[in-house]
A and B are shown apart, each in its own frame.
Chain A
Amino acid sequence: MAGFPVPENRHRHVQPVINNTLPRRNDPFAQNIDWITVLLYLCCIGLGWVNVYAAVYSPEEQTSLFDMSTNSGKQLMWIGTTAILIICILVINHTFFDTFAFVFYGFMLLMLILVLVAGTNINGSRSWFKFGAVSIQPAEFAKVATALALAKYLDVPGINLMKRKDLLYVAGIVILPCILILASNETGSTLVFASFIIMLYREGLPGWIPAAGIAAAGLFIFALLFPKLYIFLGIVALLLLIVLLMPRYNRSIPNLLALGVLGIGMMVYVTGVDFFVNSVLQKHQRNRIKVLVDPTIDPLGVGWNVTQAKIAIGSGRLQGKGFLEGTQTKFDFVPEQSTDFIFCTIGEEHGFIGSLVVVVLFIALISRIVILAEKQRTKFARVYGYCVAGIIFFHVMINIGMTIGLMPVIGIPLPFFSYGGSSLWSFSILLFIFLKLDSRRTALTRR
């Protein structure tokens, strides 16, 4: 309830809105914003900025936190512009996002196509627009637009994810930008779209679909890591175990047959993956995939990153080496130290305590978003809220996971922490559109 005058009679009477010439009155700035989320957000931004500074800091040439030639100085500039963006989002009428959801989506698809034609090639992916010194990556913003479009589509009454037709439409909305981003060689950004499954699960997606997805991904990784025979034996053992644990009355012939078909299906799938990777793909493509699951096959490239990241984090111990005292993340031991591998700096300089704070911070933020999303009165806001939670969660898990060797190395940023304007902007927009929608929720309750 930041200091904006509220009409006295507002709480007492339910007035039919007739003379509503100034929409701003019904949609005041920053009113009813969920300050807990904003606080968590500010914590992330602040910690991120300081760690970007630490990541590129070198003891020999002591630069200032505000030096515009360093990453931390530039990041400050990005934070400033983000503040302006946030103010814009909070000023705009909430119906704007609802009304124009599909327009955003269409515009974003156009940008993704345009970038394939007119984009600049940075690090082997043609996915950046370059304006002078500033590079913008449309793929970062595709998440926001896709989330809005999904929310808009699911908001229509009668849409049911149990129905195959609706499910196909939803899949189309997600897969279209995926294909375009994949075409610009941004595998990491494409995988992020898998996070929408969390929202879809909440909205009634049959539970077996996410389960099957996870199983397929798991089997894919197993197929790359282990010989086929072991996997087949594993599948057989698993099925036998299921049969043994099954209640007796469930062991009917059809059920057993279904299990058998399932097992054979899995084996065919594993064989298919094996054949595809080893026979269809060229050698360098094969290596690019294998390196995702087994960094040791490329000890000088990706494997080197993982080893160095683990050394940096592991050397932090309980309390860390202290701010700006890290040795591994300085210079070029850890690559991409201010972008994708920013978590190494935290782990090294602030130790387990620092890591704990960051992980808890993120879990708190994401849980808060889920709780808020569940309170929404409109399906649009709820769906969007779950999308936000899912996207942030996916980024955090992949990014931190790859630095500690739990996930394959996929180059996606740590939300609010990593250096880079596009990602900071897109995550802030993502979050604050939701907070704007959420602020309306309380307004609606009061009226």
Chain B
Amino acid sequence: MLENRKWVIIGVFCLLGLVYLARLFYLQILDDTYSLGASKNSIKRVVEIPYRGQIYDRNNQLMVYNTPVYDLYVTPKQVRIADTASFCRLMAITPSEFDSIMGLAKNFSSVKPSLFLRQLSKEDFARIQDALVDYHGFEPVISSMRTYPANTLANALGYVSEITRNQLEEQDLVYYRQGDYVGQNGLEKYYEEQLRGKRGVKFMMQNVRGINKGSWKNGDYDTLAVSGKNLITTIDVELQKYADSLMQNKVGAVLAIEPSTGEILVSASAPTYDPNMLSSRSFSKSYRSLLRNPYKPLINRPVMASYRPGSTFKLIQALVAQQQGSLSPHMVYGHAGSPMRCHCRGGNDLRGAVQYSCNPYFYQVFRKFMYFNGEQNTFKASAIGLREWHDMAEKFGMGDRLGVDLPSERRGNLPTPEYYNKAYRGEFRWKFSNVYSLSIGEGELLITPLKLANLAATIANRGWYITPHFLKGFGKVGAEIPSEYTQHNETGIEYKYYLPVIDGMRAAVVHGTVDQRANIPGIDLCGKTGTAQNAKFGHKFDHSIFIGFAPMNNPKIAVAVFVENAGWGGEAAAFVASLVAERYLKGKTEALSLDKRVKASSFYPPSYSAPAPKRSMPAPKDSSHKPQAPKSLITDTRPKSATSVAVSGN
């Protein structure tokens, strides 16, 4: 009968109750490990915060380390201050600041310590240490602060700051607590888990007076703090600093990669800032001033700025067209039949077209590529051709994030047929004549400097690349490197197709689009210039771009340089690239006049004011770092419509 199940249910209730009581009896009476001797002893939890890992460059030069600092804690109930005014003078705060901090502390708890002043330097602490004896209720706690002796690479390193409320609430496994420090950007954020190490916990027995009576249960429940691992980066600090010095008074990016390993040697973003600014007590003030700076120094341009690649993209066009079979190196195209203007004599073969960056030539190459599929309807043929083009160009890492070890990499844009279907509101409503700007790297293409540097490395390797990365190892070189940073990514383009392109690139430097002064003797630089349209959109000058590698045979370094508003790609950007390559290959700079010239040149978007910024930016009063100027222009490079037609390039 179902009524009898009542007894089963009550029986289960009572049985489980008995089990619980038995367990309680065991815990509370039998098992005396939980009894703490004297009845009022208690177990105190002591948290050990490990040292954050240091960061080194490829030559084992220290880039980031921890400086000990002191945080001052206050317990409001114990505070006895005779003369508040002199106390405030000692602490270098105003009485109103004192009141607000104490108010907050009291609000939190009058018996528990809360933070009074953060990050007192050793010198400051020494000054107040003796005086502190007279003021009860204040307790210094040692802590540490990031310091950047190399004073460079600010954007890629990121910074460390107190965890924000959102981050605190959104963590998956609760690890961080209020007031913990956490990597907020760049490598500090990407490798946060390895750098921070692991907090340890010790259980100490204390008597009622707070005196330690040894560890509880022989430390069985303790966990040891594991200090953070040292991060060895692939950066060459000397080269990085040199690139910084070349980029002074310019806006843009310099990237250098070792082609054979994918290791990033230089990742300069200009203008840059002193990374120490964001680690001291004045964090919020510095951060605000950096945020207001019209040149946006907080943008890590190598991976976050998307430019149109301009003529540098012709290299990919030449490679994919050869692989497809629609182009042979000996084909010659003239200027006739192309809507694009050009500045060369015309009638080049592939080498000559790369050397002189012939626009009509690549117009014809891309046209043939798009219609090389036997489809008679030009609309349908364009859709098939563009898909093929997209899939081949994607293998160079263009369509998506490359996967560099930085948290903020931008995706860029490599247009797909779907993209144009959307822009033109329907399938087969666009064809080659609508999208031919792509042939010379204009139109809807958006590519980060990092990807162009990677393109240079790919060509230097004649067919493959390793995903660019900053990680050279944890603790020692080569340790804990994920497999994606060692494996070869093939482009699917045969070795032989690279050779005429590389010939053209060398010729471009020797006697082509590149200014002769960039042809520094002894480094065998190969390169391709690019001039991304910018003047067309209301500015006076275009963006100057150069990608290349050196030496021609067995390349050691691949470089990509962007200089905004510097015009002609064969000058500003090519100069910087050749100087960086020379310094790396020779270990010194011999082209001194060029060096001097580049350092002296300034390409801030200066006196001209077109177009007027949409809303005027309040000029920062304390922008000690960089002079004031109108809003940066890098965000304006996106074409206004899908139909923009390109007519420049070199």
Contacts and interface: CB of A to CB of B under 8 A. Distances in A.
Interface of A: 58, 60-61, 121, 123-124, 198, 201-204, 284, 287-288, 291, 298-301, 304, 307, 310-311, 313-318, 321, 325, 327-328, 331, 333, 347, 351-352, 355-356, 359-360, 362-363, 366-367, 370-371, 374, 386, 389, 393, 397, 400-401, 404-406
Contact of A321 (B23, B29, B39, B110): B39
A313 B19 CA distance: 16
Interface stretch (B7-15, B150-158, B557-565): B7-15
9 contacts: A60-B77, A60-B111, A314-B35, A317-B29, A321-B39, A327-B41, A351-B28, A359-B17, A370-B10
Contacts of A298: 173
A288 B13 contact: no
A370 B10 CA distance: 8
B595 to A, nearest CB: 50
B169 A124 contact: yes
Contact of A404 (B10, B23, B33, B45): B23
A317 B23 CA distance: 13
B5 A333 contact: no
Contacts of A386: 9
Interface string B216-251: 000001010000000000000000000000000000
Interface in B104-127: 110-112
B633 interface: no
Contacts of B172: 284, 287-288
B17 A314 contact: no
A203 B2 contact: yes
Contacts of A367: 10, 13-14
A406 B23 contact: yes
- Give 5 nearest A-B pairs by CB, closest first: A314-B34, A284-B172, A327-B42, A352-B28, A363-B17
A429 B62 CA distance: 66
Contacts of B29: 317-318, 352
Interface in B1-47: 2-3, 5-6, 8-10, 13-14, 16-17, 19-21, 23-25, 27-29, 31, 33-36, 39-43, 45
Nearest to A313: B27
A400 B16 CA distance: 11
Q: Which of B6, B24, B43 has the most CB of A within 10 A?
A: B24
A202 B9 contact: yes
Given A311-B34, A367-B10, A367-B13, A301 B174 contact: yes
Contact of B111 (A61, A300, A366): A61
Contacts of A401: 20
A359 B42 contact: no
Contact of B9 (A198, A304, A359): A198
A327 to B, nearest CB: 4
B17 A201 contact: no
B20 A406 contact: yes
Does more than half of chain A's interface fall in helix, strand or loop, or is it mixed? helix
A352 B173 contact: no
A313 B34 CA distance: 8
A201 B9 contact: yes
A359 B24 CA distance: 10
Contact of B24 (A288, A299, A313): A313
Contacts of B33: 314
Contacts of B20: 359, 397, 400-401, 404, 406
Contacts of B21: 355-356, 359
Nearest to A304: B201
Nearest to B223: A299
Q: Which of B9, B29, B36 has the most CB of A within 10 A?
A: B9
Given A124-B170, A331-B112, A389-B9, 4 more contacts: A284-B173, A288-B173, A314-B33, A347-B24
B175 interface: yes
Contacts of A124: 169-170
Contact of A310 (B5, B9, B27, B175): B27
Contact of A315 (B10, B35, B77, B199): B35
A58 B111 CA distance: 9
Contacts of B9: 198, 201-202, 370, 386, 389
A366 B35 contact: no
B35 A201 contact: no
A397 B16 contact: yes
A301 B111 contact: no
Contact of B173 (A287, A304, A333, A389): A287
B223 A301 contact: no
Contact of A374 (B6, B43, B112): B6
Contacts of A351: 28
A316 B28 contact: yes
A318 B6 CA distance: 34
B28 A314 contact: yes
A301 B174 CA distance: 6
B184 to A, nearest CB: 20
A333 B169 CA distance: 21
Contacts of A327: 40-42
A351 B23 CA distance: 13
Interface in B430-459: none
Interface string B56-99: 00000000000000000000010000000000000000000000
A186 B2 CA distance: 34
Contacts of A347: 24, 28
Contact of A313 (B28, B45, B77, B169): B28
Nearest to A204: B2
Contacts of A201: 5, 8-9
B25 A352 contact: yes
A284 B110 CA distance: 37
A287 B172 CA distance: 9
Contact of A300 (B8, B39, B201): B201
A291 B175 CA distance: 14
